């Protein structure tokens, strides 16, 4: 039996999204985000997200934060698995994930 590849909806640059699932590390630069493995970018609990942000902040001497479920964001730029994000709090940073995680973000549509 031949395997079929599941089609994943792309994320639209410039569109408004709500984080539906996981906590995502948000790094201040693309270079810092690239130093971390994808598995380090997302966690399932806020305590772990805060601990990871603190760890990465100390390790790279910068301010690492995280996105929480229900955060409202805009993807500004994409470079492979790295995504530049603007949050509703005005923070700009980089996170990373492959397209299999696109389902963790819900595009918000303007009401007519």
Closest by Cα among 103, 77, 107 to 92: 77
**pLDDT reported for residue 13:** 95
H-state helical runs in 1-112:
30-35, 38-41, 46-60
Distance between CA atoms of residues 64 and 60, nearest Å? 9
User: Quick check: 98 and 81 in contact, CB under 8 A?
Assistant: yes
pLDDT tens digit string along 82-109? 999 999 999 999 999 989 999 999 999 8
pLDDT band, very low/low/confident/very high, at 39 (cuts 50, 70, 90): low
Residues with Cβ within 8 Å of residue 79, at least 6 apart in sequence:
30
**pLDDT reported for residue 106:** 96
**Domain residue spans of the chain:** 16-107
Residue 65 β-bridge partners = 26
Q: Kindly report the pTM of this predicted structure.
A: 0.86
Mean pLDDT, the chain, whole residue set: 89
């Amino acid at each position: 039996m031949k395997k079929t590849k599941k089609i994943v909806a792309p994320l639209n640059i410039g569109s408004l999204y709500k984080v539906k699932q996981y906590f995502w590390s948000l790094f201040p630069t693309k270079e810092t985000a690239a130093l971390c493995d994808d598995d380090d970018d997302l966690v399932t609990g806020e305590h772990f997200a805060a601990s990871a942000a603190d760890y990465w902040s100390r390790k790279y001497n910068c301010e690492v934060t995280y996105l929480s479920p229900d955060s409202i964001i805009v993807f500004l730029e994409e470079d492979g698995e790295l995504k530049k994000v603007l949050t509703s709090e005005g923070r700009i940073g980089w996170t990373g994930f492959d397209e299999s995680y696109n389902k963790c973000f819900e595009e918000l549509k303007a009401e007519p």
